[in-house]
C-alpha cells in the first residue's frame, strides 16, 4: 500500500487531455489528489467512461479511495461561429441574434434562445470572461442591438455572461439531464450543479437523484449574484458548496470575489457543510513548472480561511505540469497546516432544540477532549457519514479516521477535510472492535505504542444507529 499524503485540506484535480492516461492518473493519486473532477462541459461519454474505469482500477491496485466528481455544464451561454479575424471596436454597434448565423463584426448569434426575452436596455453582456463588454441598446424581436463598450478579437464558441440579467433557462438543461443519467449509471460520488440560483435548483436535482435510487452528494456551484441573494437556503439543502471564482468574477464585480469567498467559507464552516475553492489557483502552471508567489498565497489563504478542498482546473486538465501542480499545492497546504494554529478547533454553540443535539454534543466533546489530551487520532464508526461530517466541521488537529462497512461512503468522504476512511464490517463487541481498530491504525503507521486515540461509535454496535459512545484509548 502506498504512503498516504496526509493533507487535511483535500485536493481536486480536473481530468483532461494532459491527465487522462493511467500513468498520469496514478502519479496524481500518489502525489496527493483526493478527488478527480470530470468536466462535462467538454468531452464525450466514452472518454469519461475510460477515466472512471481507470480511477476505480487504480483505487483497487493502490488501496486508495479517490473520489469521482461529475461537474455538469449547466446553462452555459456561448457565441455561435464567427468569421476568423473578427474584431470589435469600442463604440460600434453589434447585433446579437438568437437565430443562428455566421458571425462577423456587425452581427453574431448565440446559443441562448431566451436572450432577447431576458435582457433589458442598459444590461451588460460580457463575452470571453469579460474581455469584451457590450451594453444593450434595444430589443427588436429576436435581435438585441448593443454598443461595444470594450472591444477586441472575437472568436467562435466563447462564453457569454449576463451579470445583471435574471436568466430564465433552467439550471439543469437537456444536456445536463443526459449527462446526469450517465453519471448516475456510473455511481459518481459527487455531482456539481452549475449556475445555481436558488435552493429550488438543488432540490430539483436531488429529487431526480432520489428517483433513480442512487446516492450521490450534490455540490452547489456559486457563480451568480442570484445565488448570493439566496445563499442561506442553498447551503441548507446542498451537501457541499463550490466557490466557482471564474464565472463569479465575471457575474459580480471582480474586487468583491475575495470577500465573497471568505463569507461563503465562514457560512459553510458554521453549517458543517464542506466548501471548495476553485478556479485559477495555480493558473500559471498550465505553462510553467512553478506557481507564482501570488498563487501560492491564494492557496494558503484559502486553507487559512477554512476551505475543505481546493481545486485545480486547467492546470491538471490541459497543463504541461499536472503532477507538479498537485505536488506544489500539497507543499503549500502542508506548510499552512503545520504552522497555523488558528485553522484548528472550531467550536459552535449547539441548538438544544435540534433532534441531533445529543449526538452533536458528543462529537464536539470528542474534539475538545482530543485537544486536551493531545490525541493522535479520533476514530468514528459510521454507516451514514454523519460522524465524519461533524468531526470535520470542528477541525480537530488529531487525524480523523472513519471505519465503515459502507464502501460507497469511503470514496465520498475523500472530499471532507481531515477525514480518511477504512473499510470495516465486523459486528463484534465494543472492546473487540476498538482493539481491532487500534491494531489496524498501528499497522498502517498512523499511531504507535503510547499514543492516545479516541473512539466513537453507536452502542450496541450491531444496530448501527447514531453515535452515542466515546472512549479514550492508549495504544498498546
Catalytic residue among 10, 26, 206, 221: 221
The residue to which cell 466548501 is assigned: 275
pLDDT by residue (tens digit) across 11-32? 999 999 999 999 999 999 999 9
331 catalytic per annotation: no
Cα distance between residue 86 and residue 351, in whole Å: 60
- Catalytic (active site) residue 221: yes
C-alpha distances in Å from residue 371, one per residue of 173, 321, 378: 47, 39, 11
Segment 86-112 mean pLDDT: 96
**CB of 239 closer than 8 Å to CB of 232:** no
Burial of 299-329, coded b for 16+ CB within 10 Å and e otherwise, reads bbebbebbbbbbbbbbbbbebebbbbbbbbb
How many Cβ atoms are within 10 Å of 421's Cβ, its own excluded? 25
pLDDT tens by residue, 320-368: 999 999 999 999 999 999 999 999 999 988 889 988 899 899 999 999 9
140, pLDDT greater than 80: yes
What is the domain partition of the chain in residue ranges?
A: 10-74+172-337, 77-161, 357-474
The residue with greater pLDDT, 168 or 61, is 61
Grid cell of 442 as nine digits: 498501528
- pLDDT value of position 464: 55
- How is residue 446 written as a grid cell? 498512523
For residue 113, count other CB atoms closer than 10 A to its CB: 12
* Orientation of helix 357-373 relative to helix 386-393, angle to 10°: 50
Q: What is the pLDDT of residues 411-430, one digit of tens each?
A: 999 999 999 999 998 766 56
Instruction: Give, in order, the Cα–Cα distances in Å from 420 to each of 88, 118, 218, 256, 399.
Output: 52, 46, 20, 35, 8
The mean per-residue pLDDT over the stretch 199-206 comes to: 97
* Candidates 3.40.50.300, 3.50.50.60, 3.20.20.60, 2.40.110.20; CATH matching 10-74+172-337: 3.20.20.60
Confidence at 164, pLDDT banded by 50, 70, 90: confident
Active site residue 78: yes
Question: Which range (99-103, 177-181, 248-252) has the least confidence?
Answer: 248-252
CA 283 to chain centre: 17
Cell of 125: 453582456
Q: Which of 455, 448, 305, 303 is nearest to 370 (CA)?
A: 455
Residues 215-231: tens digit of each pLDDT: 999 999 999 999 999 99
pLDDT tier at 1, thresholds 50, 70, 90: very low
Mean pLDDT in the chain?
94
Banded model confidence at residue 396, pLDDT cuts 50, 70, 90: very high
Backbone CA torsion sign across 85, 87, 93, 94: positive
Distance CA 290, CA 33 (A): 18
How far is residue 332's CA from residue 307's CA, in Å, rounded to a whole number? 14
* Identified catalytic residue from 8, 10, 37, 206: 37
Residue 97 corresponds to which cell in the numbers above? 441574434
In CATH, which of 3.40.1380.20, 3.40.190.10, 3.40.50.300, 3.30.420.40 is domain 357-474? 3.40.1380.20
Q: 59 pLDDT exceeds 50?
A: yes
Assess whether pLDDT exceeds 80 at residue 265: yes
C-alpha angle 260-333-388 in degrees, rounded to nearest 5: 80
Q: What is the pLDDT of residues 33-51, one digit of tens each?
A: 999 999 999 999 999 999 9
Whole-structure pTM value: 0.93
Q: What does the pLDDT average to over 141-153?
A: 97
| Confidence bin at 170 (pLDDT 50/70/90) | confident
Q: Which member of 64, 279, 332, 404 is catalytic?
A: 279
List Cα–Cα distances, 137 to 91, 122, 127, 323, in angstroms.
12, 6, 17, 48
pLDDT of residue 428: 61
Average pLDDT score over residue span 63-92:
95
Confidence of residue 375 (pLDDT cuts 50, 70, 90): very high
Half-sphere exposure at residue 209, Cβ-oriented, CA atoms within 13 angstroms: 25
341 is catalytic: no
Is it true that 10-74+172-337 and 357-474 share their CATH fold?
no
Q: Which residues are paired to 192 by β-bridges?
A: 71, 219
How far is Cα 394 from Cα 303, in angstroms, rounded to an integer? 15
Q: With CA atoms as reference, report the closest residue to 49 among 173, 191, 185.
A: 185
pLDDT score for 314: 95
DSSP single-letter state for residue 359: H
Q: Residues 448, 426: contact at Cβ < 8 Å?
A: no
Question: Which position among 78, 100, 135, 407 bears the catalytic label?
Answer: 78
pLDDT of residue 194: 94
CB 38 within 8 A of CB 52: yes
Topology at the third CATH level for domain 77-161:
M1 Pyruvate Kinase; Domain 3 (2.40.33)
The residue ranking higher by pLDDT, 428 or 61, is 61
Listed in sequence order, the residues at least 6 apart from 3 whose beta carbon sits closer than 8 Å to its beta carbon are: none
Q: In Å, what is the CA distance from 304 to each residue of 197, 235, 264, 454?
A: 28, 21, 14, 26
Amino acid at each position: 500500500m502506498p504512503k498516504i499524503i496526509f493533507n487535511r485540506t483535500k485536493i481536486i484535480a480536473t481530468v483532461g487531455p494532459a491527465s487522462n492516461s493511467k500513468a498520469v492518473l496514478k502519479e496524481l493519486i500518489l502525489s496527493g489528489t483526493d478527488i478527480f473532477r470530470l468536466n462535462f462541459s467538454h468531452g464525450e461519454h466514452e472518454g469519461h467512461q475510460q477515466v472512471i474505469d481507470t480511477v476505480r482500477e487504480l483505487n483497487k491496485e493502490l488501496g486508495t479511495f479517490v473520489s469521482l466528481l461529475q461537474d455538469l455544464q449547466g446553462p452555459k451561454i456561448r457565441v455561435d461561429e464567427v468569421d476568423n479575424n473578427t474584431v470589435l471596436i469600442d463604440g460600434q454597434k453589434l447585433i446579437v441574434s438568437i437565430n443562428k448565423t455566421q458571425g462577423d463584426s456587425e452581427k453574431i448569434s448565440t446559443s441562448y434562445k431566451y436572450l432577447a426575452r431576458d435582457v433589458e436596455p442598459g444590461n451588460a453582456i460580457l463575452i470571453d470572461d469579460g474581455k469584451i463588454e457590450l451594453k444593450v441598446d434595444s430589443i427588436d424581436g429576436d435581435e438585441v442591438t448593443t454598443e461595444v463598450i470594450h472591444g477586441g478579437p472575437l472568436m467562435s464558441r466563447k462564453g457569454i455572461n449576463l451579470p445583471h440579467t435574471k436568466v430564465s433557462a433552467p439550471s439543469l438543461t437537456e444536456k445536463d439531464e443526459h449527462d446526469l443519467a450517465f453519471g448516475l449509471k456510473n455511481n459518481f460520488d459527487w455531482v456539481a450543479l452549475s449556475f445555481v440560483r436558488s435552493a429550488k435548483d438543488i432540490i430539483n436535482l436531488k429529487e431526480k437523484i432520489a428517483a433513480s435510487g442512487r446516492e450521490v452528494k450534490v455540490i452547489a456551484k456559486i457563480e451568480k449574484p442570484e445565488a448570493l441573494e439566496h445563499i442561506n437556503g442553498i447551503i441548507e439543502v446542498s451537501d457541499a458548496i463550490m466557490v466557482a471564482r471564474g464565472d463569479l468574477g465575471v457575474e459580480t464585480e471582480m474586487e468583491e470575489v475575495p470577500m465573497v469567498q471568505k463569507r461563503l467559507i465562514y457560512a459553510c464552516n458554521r453549517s458543517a457543510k464542506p466548501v471548495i475553492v476553485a478556479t485559477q489557483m495555480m493558473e500559471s502552471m498550465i505553462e510553467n513548472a512553478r506557481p507564482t508567489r501570488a498563487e501560492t498565497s491564494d492557496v494558503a489563504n484559502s486553507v487559512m480561511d477554512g476551505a475543505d478542498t481546493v481545486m485545480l482546473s486547467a492546470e491538471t486538465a490541459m497543463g504541461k505540469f499536472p503532477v507538479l501542480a498537485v505536488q506544489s499545492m500539497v507543499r503549500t497546504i502542508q506548510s499552512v497546516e503545520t504552522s497555523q494554529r488558528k485553522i484548528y478547533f472550531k467550536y459552535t454553540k449547539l441548538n438544544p432544540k435540534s433532534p441531533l443535539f445529543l449526538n452533536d454534543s458528543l462529537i464536539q466533546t470528542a474534539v475538545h477532549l482530543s485537544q486536551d489530551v493531545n490525541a493522535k487520532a479520533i476514530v468514528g464508526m459510521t454507516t451514514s457519514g454523519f460522524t465524519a461530517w461533524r468531526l470535520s466541521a470542528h477541525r480537530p488537529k488529531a487525524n480523523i479516521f472513519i471505519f465503515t462497512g459502507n464502501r460507497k461512503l469511503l470514496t465520498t468522504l475523500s472530499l471532507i477535510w481531515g477525514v480518511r476512511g477504512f473499510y470495516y464490517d465486523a459486528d463484534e463487541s465494543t472492546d473487540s472492535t476498538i482493539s481491532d481498530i487500534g491494531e489496524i491504525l498501528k499497522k498502517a503507521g498512523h499511531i504507535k505504542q503510547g499514543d492516545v486515540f479516541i473512539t466513537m461509535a453507536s452502542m450496541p454496535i450491531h444496530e448501527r444507529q447514531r453515535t452515542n459512545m466515546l472512549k479514550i484509548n492508549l495504544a498498546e
